[in-house]
Amino acid sequence: MGDTQRPAKKTAKSRPKPASTNEPAFVQLLTPEGQRVKHPDYDLSLTDDEYRGLYRDLVITRELDAQGTALQRQGQLGLWPSLLGQEAAQVGSGRALKPQDTVFPAYRELGVQWARGVDLISSFALFRGTDLGGRDVAADRFNMYAIVIASQTLHAAGYAMGIAMDGAVGNEDGEAVVVYHGDGATSEGDFNEALIWAGVFNSPLVLFCQNNQYAISETNARQFRLPPYRRAEGFGVPGVLVDGNDVLATYAVTKWALDRARRGEGPSLVEAYTYRMQPHTTSDDATRYRDAAELDFWRAKDPIVRYRKWLDAEGLADEAYFAAIDTEAGELVRELRARVMALTDPEVAEMFDNVYAEMPPGIAAQRAEALEFQASLDDAANDDATEGSEVR
């Protein structure tokens, strides 16, 4: 999710070096060729249905995300930040969560939202401009998207400190907090401050970094000398590098991190080494800073292709199953599209009603003024309509 909100200004002559095509030494349970491998510290054993379910998650997430891009291109959304290529990082980590855990997303976590069982319409409504952020985040423990880079890391650190003080950690049934961010967020002061507080207070926080190689146009080489998972050690926090295109590995490593957080063993940082196949958002032109050869290199590591190969080789799924998932994904896309098109503009009062538990007098006065102004516009429109009908 490489995330810096500064516009890309690179020209062909000043392009940064492309993202590295040398694989680092990361935790991997499934190779790009679809071969299952062992790891001495991290393993995963699921039921056949659970293994098949991960494939369903990956495919549906990709198709729904593609619809987001299509809707924006058709003028139905103002913006869309695609997660194409990052499905394994999001689905694997999302499925490792327990119901009592709390998520602080950035703005690209559609796959986590799906795995969490949160209605996806909230994300599409946000980028359509019809959602003012009034969703009850306490009910599903999935907070609002954070557009300000790395701001959610501090929110998550504070929340994690709070639940620890409440005594909600200390055993297998304890609570944990996970915050999602990109490699670009690690260049922000908020991220570093969050690590300081989480480390010092031994908070039950998992920082999940989706390192997709770019903070818009800035490569890793222009962001840090050491990768994020190694930088965590400087804050007294363990860091783990995982193959972010391997859904089994991201599940296993995130589960380890969440389990230790629930037991009260403190924070950790998981760096999922992945790649953003689409532009940063639909307003970005990625051809200005990366080339076709780099994209081809990463297409060979596609998280869905490798997982399908493994399922097929293990006899866990057949062509009929794969076809059924494609059909289901298509149906969900059509349903989602219809719901997006049916979204209506919010009421003016909504921007005031969901900010404070107890509305301060100043905000209440602004609310009343806004409603009065809206009423005057409605009255003027009605008068114009009446005059028009009399003329006819």
- Give the catalytic positions in this structure: 276, 280, 289
Q: Which helix (H) or strand (E) holds 328?
A: helix 319-341
| Amino acid at site 388 | G
Distance CA 58, CA 74 (A): 25
Q: How far apart are CA 326 and CA 113, in angstroms?
A: 20
Helix (H) or strand (E) run with residue 240 in it: strand 239-243
How many Å separate Cα 163 from the centre of its chain?
23
For the chain, what is the radius of gyration of the CA atoms?
23
Q: Provide DSSP, 213-224.
A: SEETTEEGGGT-
Of 70, 56, 181, nearest to 124 by C-alpha is 70
Report whether 277 contacts 244 (CB < 8 A).
no
- The H-or-E segment that residue 338 falls in is helix 319-341
Return d(Cα 203, Cα 239) in angstroms, integer.
Answer: 15
C-alpha dist (Å) from residue 291 to 26, 137, 275, 283, 376: 25, 40, 14, 18, 54
| Widest pairwise Cα distance in the chain | 84
DSSP, residue by residue, 254-280: HHHHHHHHHTT---EEEEEE----S-S
Question: 201: number of CA atoms within 13 Å, CB side?
Answer: 19
- The amino acid sitting at 242 is V
